[in-house]
Amino acid sequence: MSATSWSAVRAGGAGGAVQSPAMLGECARLGVATAVVFTQQLQRARVARIPLLFVAALQSIGILLLLRGVVDTSSVLTEQQVVAGATVLVAAFVCLNLLAQRLGALRAEGGLDYYAALAVPGSAVALGTAGAYGVFAVPGAVVTAVAGAALYGLPLSRLWILAAVLPLAAASLAGLGALLGLLAPKPELATVAGQLGMSAVIFLNLIPAHRLPLVLRALRALVPSTYAADALAETFHARVAWASVGLDLLICLGVAIAALALAGGLFRRQVNR
């Protein structure tokens, strides 16, 4: 994204009807900024599209195959949670782990100052970057869901819910990944934080809440990806509690908004030092 292209966006595009971001309103300004960052980061992410397409998916499918031999086949709820958790894990690999690393690197390289000079909100940097990487993770997540459902004998008819689950899971995890990347004083620490976050997601996504001790249930409730996994797992039931699915997805949305807002505030404080 060049300064010229961002200036054109600020001027209101080809029509030139809008003269400044302030006139757009906050939501419109965030949407425009996110789209511009997304386009720029998408060009960069294409270089890593092979790892994004295959590594994340192979990791999750490998977990499915591994757990197939040890999961209690008499517990349908556990099988449903394993498939749902492994599917959401693909989004976590990209939007939590890789985003934390990417923003840590941008901070170290001075890339955040570049975006600040162009008046790009920090939440747009996080969301646009996560979206660019997430595009290449979507096929892997879909393949994981289909393969997992087939492997564990679960219904495929409601996998359309992935159209809501994956974006909301990605957005909520992107907010947390952005916070980890921006808070880490060194890019190496951002990498470690991203890996630790992934470990928590793997453990808490794959195990149903009722099979955890009370302390870990409380910890699980703080991880937004578990709500996305629970929503997807619920759709594998013979009778779906759609109110529960909707509530879980609304929680993901709320966490995404709050975490991205915090990331935006942290971004502004860091570049204004």
What are the distances in angstroms from CA 258 to CA 64, 92, 152, 197, 262?
32, 18, 35, 18, 6
Closest by CA position to 93, among listed 199, 223, 233: 199
Tell me the residue ranges of DSSP E strands in 107-159: none
* Distance, CA of 157 to chain centre: 24
pLDDT-based confidence at residue 184 (cuts at 50, 70, 90): confident
DSSP state, 70? T
Helices 224-234, 187-206: inter-axial angle, 10-degree rounding = 30
Q: Which two tokens stand for residue 254?
A: 């709320």
Calculate Rg over the CA atoms of the chain: 19
pTM of the model: 0.81
Cα 171 to Cα 256: distance, rounded to the nearest angstrom: 5
Residue 20, φ and ψ in degrees, nearest 5: -155, 155
pLDDT-based confidence at residue 272 (cuts at 50, 70, 90): low
Q: What is the rounded average pLDDT of the residues 97-121?
A: 78
Cα 132 to Cα 270: distance, rounded to the nearest angstrom: 24
Q: Is the per-residue pLDDT at 14 higher than 50?
A: no
Q: What is the pLDDT of residues 124-182, one digit of tens each?
A: 777 787 777 777 778 888 999 999 999 988 999 999 999 999 988 888 888 888 888 88
Q: What is the rounded average pLDDT of the residues 242-267?
A: 87
Q: What is the pLDDT of residues 42-87, one digit of tens each?
A: 877 666 666 666 777 788 888 888 888 776 666 788 889 999 999 9
pLDDT of 45 reads 67
Highest mean pLDDT (candidates 25-34, 122-131, 174-183, 233-242): 233-242
